[in-house]
Amino acid sequence: MQAEDCVFCRIADGRIPSAKVYEDENVAAFLDLSPVNPGHTLVIPKKHFKDILDFPCELAPAVCAAVQKIAGALVAATGAKGVNVLQNNGIAAGQSVFHIHWHIIPRYEGDGLELWHQSPYPSAEAMQEMAAKISRAIQE
C-alpha cells in the first residue's frame, strides 16, 4: 500500500532520489535533508502508514532490527558518542511527513541539541491519577 502523494512512499519506491543507507524488503533508510547532525538518518517502512496508531505491530521487529543496525553503523561511521532514536506522531509532536518514520540522530557532548523540557507533576497523587487514567484507557 503506497500513498501517491507521500514523499516517503516515492523515496521508498525510487521515484524520488535519496541518499539511501539501507534497504531490505520491509524497510528503507536514508539521510535526512535537514540533519540535526551529519549522518542523521530516517528509517521508514516501505508500506505507507500514517503514524504509530496506524502502524501494524507485525512490522515492528523488522523496523527495530533496522534501527539497531543503522544506529551502530552511524556511531562507527561518524564517531558519535551516542544516538537519539525519535519517532514523532501528529503535528503537535513535530511530525511533518505523515508516513511513520524514525529519526536516528548521531550525538556528541555539547552539540547543542536539547530535547527535554521537564514539566513535573504537581504531586505524587496527580502522577498516580494520570497513571490510572492511562491504564484504564489501555484496558478499554
Q: Which pLDDT tens digit goes with each residue over 10-49?
A: 999 999 999 999 999 999 999 999 999 999 999 999 999 9
Ranges in the chain, pLDDT < 50: none
| pTM, rounded to two decimals | 0.91
In three-state secondary structure terms, 40 is coil
pLDDT at residue number 3: 79
* Residue of 99, 85, 7, 97 whose CA lies nearest to 51: 99
Question: What domains lie within the chain, and their CATH numbers?
Answer: 7-139 (3.30.428.10)
pLDDT at residue number 9: 96
Active site residue 48: no
d(CA 90, CA 123): 29
Catalytic residue among 40, 48, 99, 101: 101
pLDDT at residue number 86: 96
Helix (H) or strand (E) holding 126: helix 124-139
- CB atoms under 10 Å from CB of 89, counted, come to 16
pLDDT at residue number 122: 95
